[in-house]
Amino acid sequence: MDGESTSRRSPHAAALRAKAVRGYRAKAGIRARFSEHPNRVWKARVKRINRVWVGDITYLRLADGWRYLAVVLDHHSRRVLAWTLSRRRTARETCRVLARALIRRRPPRGLIFHSDRGTEYMGAAFCAFVARHRLRQSASVRGPSDNARAESFFHSLKAELTRGAVFLTELALRRALIRYIRYYNVRRLHSALGYRSPIAFERRAA
């Protein structure tokens, strides 16, 4: 009886063992993508503005749903160079906000643009946009802390402006963002900048 029971169970046990040892298979092309856009910020010593920019996206609450805030900051001065607010989180918006920053700052050739590995930044449309403007694309590898400048800005914005608040209209949110980003760039003091605002830090460096 025991032998018969064992023989009946053995095919199922074998199937279970087969599933257990099945290994993880990386997605096709993932290694190539990581090598093409490595984290160029890890070892970079950024001592001037317009050498490394960082970008990121976060969501903000509105009475009728959510809006997505995309930003570009200068890594050295922490200044917000451009931003967009949209209903969707797409490569179109990341291209749009980066285009605004490029028009306003006109950085030298070889600028590094750093972001996470979200589809808005790793998709073909955005990568082609970066290459067309002769920027060097960089992307996080380990996790969220790789993009600390942008994350720090979003933390400050949410703690000081949007936490616990619900904006009734997109216009109200836009006006609040305009005021806050102006305050952040012009007046908000940063210990890492010698207790200066981003704009004051840039002027002193110049």
pLDDT digits (tens, 9 = 90+) for 8-62: 544 444 444 444 444 434 444 445 555 678 988 877 778 899 999 999 999 999 9
Percent share of the chain, pLDDT over 70: 80
pLDDT in tens, 48-84: 999 999 999 999 999 999 999 999 999 999 999 999 9
What pTM was estimated for this model as a whole? 0.81
Tokens of 80: 């917000």
- Residue positions counted in the chain: 206
In a domain, 175, yes or no: yes
pLDDT at site 96: 98
Task: Evaluate whether 74 touches 49 at the Cβ level (below 8 Å).
Answer: yes
pLDDT reported for residue 143: 54
The answer to whether the beta carbons of residues 54 and 73 sit under 8 Å apart is yes
What does the pLDDT look like over 119-142, one tens digit per residue? Answer: 999 999 999 999 999 999 999 976
Residue 12, domain member (yes or no): no
Question: Which CATH number characterizes residue 73's domain?
Answer: 3.30.420.10
- Could you give the number of structural domains in the chain? 1
Specify the pLDDT at position 42.
75
* Domain annotation covers residue 164: yes
- Measure Cα distances from 75 to 53, 146, 164, 169, 189 in Å: 5, 12, 29, 32, 16
Domain-located, residue 8? no
Domain span holding position 88? 30-205
DSSP-derived letter for residue 85 is: E
Q: Does residue 21 sit within a domain?
A: no
